[in-house]
Chain A
């Protein structure tokens, strides 16, 4: 067999997989979104009716609000937390490896386990957090059981998990040329100035990357929201809403239309962020 034939044979499994599990579902999703497909019975083509129904559904806007609000607050909070942690452990002090290891752990541990543990840490009556507040004479809120405190509860979890993004920042910090700092020292710059004028600008490509990833993961938030929920409708994140429509009410067409809207939102935000790139992201001149 010729080299090129062997090569084609080797990529064939991926090509088949790509067609079955990527190309076909996208095309199918276009069609399903335009039908009234439920899990049983016949599906009929209804055009844009699903989209019209979605835009008339207050629950949709509520889910969008819950998710969007969370994204706006959680993304900067996690980026800042991860950056601070990375700056803190970016040195050769004794035992720093242990710090790095433990700070990284939230990103490897299953979301299910984290959700279950926080469910009890945030428990209004027995939870560790409120017990701690009581020690200081404070009465803690009902967290996930009080509509006003659902969002802060999810933000606490987001901040706790943020240090897991550590290594990406560490790698970027390592890549900053040492001469820049040396030059700045000679010019009499303090550490705050070095961070402001050297570290942050040099980190902008990684901040950009994390911003995009943050948008995607905030809008896809599901596991902990599904397990923990939240008082009122405050815990119904977009993906939870989509899941309920598809697998509790079996409205497959409606849920697929929701998936398309989510896709457009994520894509749109990514494009907007990408457009702003040239104003704030440092690009090495080639």
Chain B
């Protein structure tokens, strides 16, 4: 194929692809009269952001707080998923716990099992444990992720046993081997696990919607969605400001760690 033609086609596709983001970001800085009348704003305003962050409808909905909530229910599972992912994978693959092959199969089934079925039993469980309307209800079920264990198993397979034996002869404990040898060696894998877990938890919608009705504990995704359906229904500029805030951290992460995203997907194909 000739190059200019393919560039033309790709550029058209690129424009279609990027247009919604562009429109979202531009609209979030527009005065309300210009959102639907101009593509490029004649002047920039921060009023939409001020409105959303100060809870301008007098509803006192705390969007700043919701960003903090999002970070809490994102960062805690992310750290925990990495920790337990390594710990479990190390025990199965390197310490070869009795029946490890059997356990590894269970992990794959657990990973592929559609979570739809768990939704209501888990909700009722959280309710009985008094975990409705607080962080633990939103976090607890996400502390260990079979996908992360699976990825670490794949990587730990490739590390030569002689390296671990040498450390053991020097008197290193198994925990020390994990933190001093396995962790530094699996930087790329860990980056992939962190990125995809962060993304999944930050964008999470259905579970926190169900398990938390308390406005002060809501993550940004849920608060914004409820507002779009409710009080802010007729405020496109404010909605775009919220959507931009929701999108921004992920796009920044993506641009900074693009290499890992590409690797992560060709590595497993199981997420994203």
A-side interface residues toward B, CB under 8 Å? 3-4, 6-11, 13-14, 17-18, 21-22, 24-26, 28-29, 32, 37, 85, 88-89, 91, 93, 99, 101-121, 126-128, 131, 160, 163-164, 167-168, 170-171, 174, 191, 206, 209, 216, 220, 222-223, 226-227, 239, 242-243, 246-247, 252, 255-256, 259-260, 262-263, 266
Nearest neighbor of B84 in chain A, beta-carbon distance? A13
A158 smallest CB distance to B (angstroms) = 13
Q: Which of B21, B121, B210 contacts A32 (CB 8 A)?
A: B121
Q: Which of B123, B144, B236 contacts A14 (CB 8 A)?
A: B144
Beyond A167-B265, A191-B1, whether A105 also contacts B251 by CB under 8 A is yes
Residue B169 interfacial (CB < 8 Å): no
Are A29 and B243 in touch, CB under 8 angstroms? no
B13 engages A256 (CB within 8 Å): no
How near does chain A come to B163, taking the closest CB pair, in angstroms? 16
CB contacts (< 8 Å) of B51 on chain A: these are: none
CB distance from A144 to the nearest CB of B (A): 13
- Closest-by-CB residue of B relative to A28 is B121
Contact A160–B17 (Cβ < 8 Å): yes
CB < 8 Å: which of A99, A121, A227 contacts B229? A227
Contacts A32-B120, A247-B210 supplied; 10 other A-B pairs, CB < 8 Å: A10-B97, A11-B91, A113-B24, A167-B266, A168-B265, A168-B269, A174-B266, A239-B116, A259-B116, A262-B114
The verdict on B101 contacting chain A, using a C-beta distance below 8 Å, is no
A-B CB proximity, top 6 nearest: A7-B95, A171-B266, A10-B91, A110-B203, A25-B121, A28-B121
Residue of B nearest to A121 (CB): B20
Contact, CB under 8 Å: A112 / B203? yes
- Within the complex, the shortest CB–CB distance from A33 to chain B, in Å, comes to 9
Chain B stretch 222-250: residues in CB contact (< 8 A) with chain A: 224-225, 228-229, 236, 239-240, 242-244, 246-247, 250
Report Cα–Cα, A112/B239, bound state, in Å: 11
Q: Per DSSP, are chain B's interface residues mostly helix, strand or loop, or mixed?
A: helix
Q: Does A114 lie within 8 Å of B20, measured CB to CB?
A: yes
What is the total number of residues of chain B having a CB less than 8 Å from a CB of chain A?
81
User: A11, B97: Cβ atoms under 8 Å?
Assistant: yes
Residues of B within 8 Å of A99, CB to CB, are: 10, 13-14
Q: For A247, list chain B residues within 8 Å (CB).
A: 210
Q: Which of B9, B87, B229, B243 contacts A10 (CB 8 A)?
A: B87
Q: B68 an interface residue at 8 Å Cβ cutoff? A: no
With the chains together, A227 CA to B113 CA distance in Å?
26
| Among B27, B35, B118, B272, contact of A107 (Cβ-Cβ < 8 Å) | B272
Q: Within 8 Å CB of B90, what residues of A?
A: 10
- B151 touches A (CB below 8 Å): no
Tell me if A's interface is mostly helix, strand, loop or mixed: helix
Q: In whole angstroms, what is the CA distance A220 to B91 when docked?
A: 34
In the complex, A11→B202 CA distance in Å?
27
Q: Which residues of chain A have C-beta atoms less than 8 A from B250's C-beta?
A: 108-110
Q: A191's closest neighbor in chain B, by CB?
A: B1
Q: Is B110 an interface residue (CB 8 A)?
A: yes
Shortest B129–chain A CB gap in Å is: 10
The distance in angstroms between the C-alpha atoms of A91 and B122, with both chains bound, is 47
A255 and B149 contact, Cβ closer than 8 Å, known pairs A104-B261, A116-B242: no
**Beta-carbon nearest neighbor of A163 in chain B:** B17
Contact B205–A222 (Cβ < 8 Å)? yes
B202 A110 Cβ-Cβ under 8 A: yes
Question: In the complex, are the beta carbons of B6 and A88 less than 8 A apart?
Answer: yes
Q: Is the pair B269, A110 in contact by a Cβ cutoff of 8 Å?
A: no
Task: Judge whether B181 is part of the interface by a CB distance below 8 angstroms.
Answer: no
Closest Cβ–Cβ distance, residue B141 to chain A (whole Å): 5
- B173 to chain A minimum Cβ distance, whole angstroms, is 8
* 0 or 1 for each of B75-108: is its CB under 8 Å from A? (1 = yes): 0000000001001101110011110000100110
Q: Does residue B143 face the partner (Cβ distance < 8 Å to A)?
A: yes
CB neighbours (8 Å) of A243 from chain B are: 206, 210
* A11-B91, A13-B88 known; A131 vs B210 contact (CB < 8 Å): no
